[in-house]
Chain A
Amino acid sequence: MQFWIIQSLNSLALGGVLFLLASGFSLIFGLMRLANLAHGALFMVGAYIGANLLRKYAFIDLWMAALLSGLMVAAAGGLLERLVLRRLATNPLGQVLVTLGVSFIIADACLMVWGGDPIPVPTPSYLRRPLFVVGFAFPAYRVVVVGIAIATAIGLYLLLERTRLGAMIRAGVDDMDMARAVGIPVSKLFTAVFCLGAGIAGAAGVLAGPILSAYPGLDADMLPLALIVVILGGIGSLVGAFVGSFIIGFIYTFGTALVPDLAYVILFLPMIFIIAYSPQGLFGRMAT
């Protein structure tokens, strides 16, 4: 019984982390039709920046580190979009190769700068005490991560559905050419959305730090999970990313706990079937 409850709570925590990662990926893909394979690397570099801020400056706490790291990664993402990706707007294969190349470069740069040893990200002291959920001790921080993921989901939902900026983004997703023809500054919107998605990934790396820490290969561990989430949930759908994150959180957590040898099979087999038989995912709209 304890096993199931603890693993369920772990699944929720992983789902929360995955949502923070996948929402940015999905947002960028939805508007720009750009599969940003550097998204996992942005998450990892965010984790490293946060871990080092916390190590070096005593006055910075986890939340401030996440904020600063998110801003830095957002700025880097904006540069990447403006200087490189924008030139590849009509070249999906080029985008895939370039973002993959960028992710390798980021991974090597992280290894060079911060070395090969994992850098722990300490949990804030006031969240170190376990929370008791129906009698079972559970790390309080993980509950907070789930809360942050839900708050982020609500924030993004309000941004997309309740603001003029969000309506402009949706108009661009609906019909890019028409959006431009009515004067929506699509190219500025692209940069803004890319910064936002990258920034969320960077902050997510820090927020996931107390659970995952910063280590070489974090990017390669996380990117496939994010891809599966958006394929399952429906590319470009925020609701899909949210539901997909928690589904994958459960599948991955229980998969690794119950049949560790087959964890990736359990994960990728459904993905293959979705791509082959239901490519729009759970909540996606087919591209017209």
Chain B
Amino acid sequence: MRSSGINARAWCTLANEALRLDGVHSYYGDSHVLQGVSFALEAGKLLALLGRNGAGKTTCISSIVGLVPPREGTIRLFGQRISGLQPENISRMGIGLVPQGRRIFQSLNVRENLLVARQRERTRPDPWTIERVYDMFPRLQERHHQMAGSLSGGEQQMLAIGRALMGNPSVLLMDEPSEGLAPLIVAEVGRTISRLRDEGQTIVLVEQNSKLALDLADSAVILTTGRCVFHGAASQLRADESIIAQNLGVFQGHS
């Protein structure tokens, strides 16, 4: 069922294009959530995926990882079609997920959460290991034998990020990593994302907190009721607040 990769490269419009969605339509049951979403992301860049509640951001993420397979349209990772594959195969091709609500494995301890997500090293000079994740989040090392369900929200978020990194993803999807966390922890998550970006990690960042996202992002997509209403440079949104006010509501961007 894996699509043939023979001419996959030929589809690539940019040599360094990491992720491309083309006319993606996805449904939850009968409700048509994504109505033709298209955007692309360059390798090594951070794309902020913004939108109001219910705009389809999480469905978009679920479509990319294969948990809500698109009914129409294609998703490509470095030119290779991933839409239609099973989620475990999409993960193995290089998509990493930090899901909304963290969804760490509650009955596994911290170390096991990282261990089960370890994947064969891809072509990457410095693959992620448990030790590197512990270096990044020393708190996790202190608690490595603790059941993951007993961690604080911030620690669970660190674990969810570390778990995704263990798969050495070429594109990391982060769905609302600051949700429900104290301001101090939000700042730490922000620093972590910024550090990952500086190390060259390609990231798609979904955020309600559009200020946090735009401060970090190179480019941005705004979804409204399942459609892209903006796809461009993040600097454009930073310069022109009216686009944000119009599409995300006036309360955004000042939290």
In the complex, chain A residues 79-118 whose Cβ is within 8 Å of any chain B Cβ: none
Choose one: A164, A174, A183; the contact of B91 (CB below 8 Å). A183
Interface residue B196 (Cβ < 8 Å from any Cβ of A): no
Choose one: B96, B115, B116, B164; the contact of A179 (CB below 8 Å). B116
State whether B105 touches A174 (Cβ < 8 A): yes
State whether A167 touches B67 (Cβ < 8 A): no
Tell me the bound Cα distance from A179 to B104 in angstroms: 9
Tell me the bound Cα distance from A95 to B218 in angstroms: 49
State whether B105 touches A187 (Cβ < 8 A): no
State whether B92 touches A175 (Cβ < 8 A): no
Interface residue B86 (Cβ < 8 Å from any Cβ of A): yes
Interface residue B154 (Cβ < 8 Å from any Cβ of A): no
Interface-forming stretch among B106-114, B209-217, B227-235? Answer: B106-114
Interface residue A170 (Cβ < 8 Å from any Cβ of B): yes
Contacts of B87 in A (CB 8 A): 177, 180-181
CB distance from B41 to the nearest CB of A (A): 19
Choose one: B66, B107, B117, B166; the contact of A170 (CB below 8 Å). B107
State whether A170 touches B103 (Cβ < 8 A): no
Known: A167-B108, A171-B105. A183 touches B115 (CB 8 A): no
Contacts of A175 in B (CB 8 A): 103, 105
Who on chain A is nearest to B102 by CB?
A178
Contacts of A181 in B (CB 8 A): 65-67, 87-88, 91, 97, 99
Tell me the bound Cα distance from A181 to B82 in angstroms: 13
Tell me the bound Cα distance from A181 to B87 in angstroms: 5
Taken residue by residue from 151 to 189, chain A's Cβ proximity to chain B (1 for < 8 Å, 0 otherwise) reads as 000000000000010011011011101111111111100
Contacts of B164 in A (CB 8 A): 182
Contacts of B86 in A (CB 8 A): 180, 187
Chain A interface size band reads 20 to 34
Interface residue B70 (Cβ < 8 Å from any Cβ of A): no
Interface residue B84 (Cβ < 8 Å from any Cβ of A): no
Of A168, A178, A185, most B-chain CB atoms within 10 Å: A178
In the complex, chain B residues 53-83 whose Cβ is within 8 Å of any chain A Cβ: 65-67
Contacts of B167 in A (CB 8 A): 182-183
Contacts of A171 in B (CB 8 A): 105, 108, 112-113, 116
Tell me the bound Cα distance from A185 to B66 in angstroms: 14
In the complex, chain A residues 118-175 whose Cβ is within 8 Å of any chain B Cβ: 164, 167-168, 170-171, 173-175
Contacts of B113 in A (CB 8 A): 171
Contacts of B20 in A (CB 8 A): none
Tell me the bound Cα distance from A268 to B66 in angstroms: 43
State whether B91 touches A180 (Cβ < 8 A): yes
Interface residue B163 (Cβ < 8 Å from any Cβ of A): yes
State whether A182 touches B91 (Cβ < 8 A): yes
Contacts of B117 in A (CB 8 A): 182-184
CB distance from A247 to the nearest CB of B (A): 24
State whether A178 touches B105 (Cβ < 8 A): yes
Contacts of A170 in B (CB 8 A): 105, 107-108, 112
Known: A170-B108, A174-B106, A178-B105. A184 touches B88 (CB 8 A): yes
CB distance from B64 to the nearest CB of A (A): 10
Tell me the bound Cα distance from A219 to B39 in angstroms: 57
Tell me the bound Cα distance from A173 to B65 in angstroms: 19
Interface residue B119 (Cβ < 8 Å from any Cβ of A): yes
Tell me the bound Cα distance from A179 to B97 in angstroms: 11
Who on chain B is nearest to A185 by CB?
B88
Choose one: B92, B103, B105, B107; the contact of A183 (CB below 8 Å). B92
Tell me the bound Cα distance from A285 to B147 in angstroms: 15
Taken residue by residue from 220 to 251, chain B's Cβ proximity to chain A (1 for < 8 Å, 0 otherwise) reads as 00000000000000000000000000000000
CB distance from B79 to the nearest CB of A (A): 20
Tell me the bound Cα distance from A178 to B86 in angstroms: 12
State whether A164 touches B116 (Cβ < 8 A): yes
Tell me the bound Cα distance from A187 to B115 in angstroms: 19
Known: A180-B88, A182-B164, A183-B91. A174 touches B108 (CB 8 A): yes
CB distance from B65 to the nearest CB of A (A): 5
CB distance from A226 to the nearest CB of B (A): 24
Tell me the bound Cα distance from A179 to B166 in angstroms: 13
Tell me the bound Cα distance from A180 to B107 in angstroms: 17
Contacts of B116 in A (CB 8 A): 164, 167-168, 171, 179, 182, 184
Contacts of A174 in B (CB 8 A): 105-108
- Starting from the known contacts A167-B108, A181-B67, A182-B116, 10 additional A-B residue pairs (CB-CB under 8 Å) come to A164-B115, A170-B107, A173-B107, A174-B106, A177-B87, A178-B97, A180-B88, A182-B164, A183-B88, A186-B88
Ordered by A's residue number, 12 sampled pairs between the chains whose C-beta atoms are within 8 Å are A164-B112, A164-B115, A167-B108, A167-B116, A177-B87, A178-B97, A180-B67, A181-B67, A183-B92, A183-B167, A184-B88, A186-B88
Closest A-B pairs by Cβ, 6 of them = A183-B91, A180-B87, A182-B117, A167-B112, A171-B105, A174-B105
Q: Give residues in A with beta carbon < 8 Å to B.
A: 164, 167-168, 170-171, 173-175, 177-187, 285
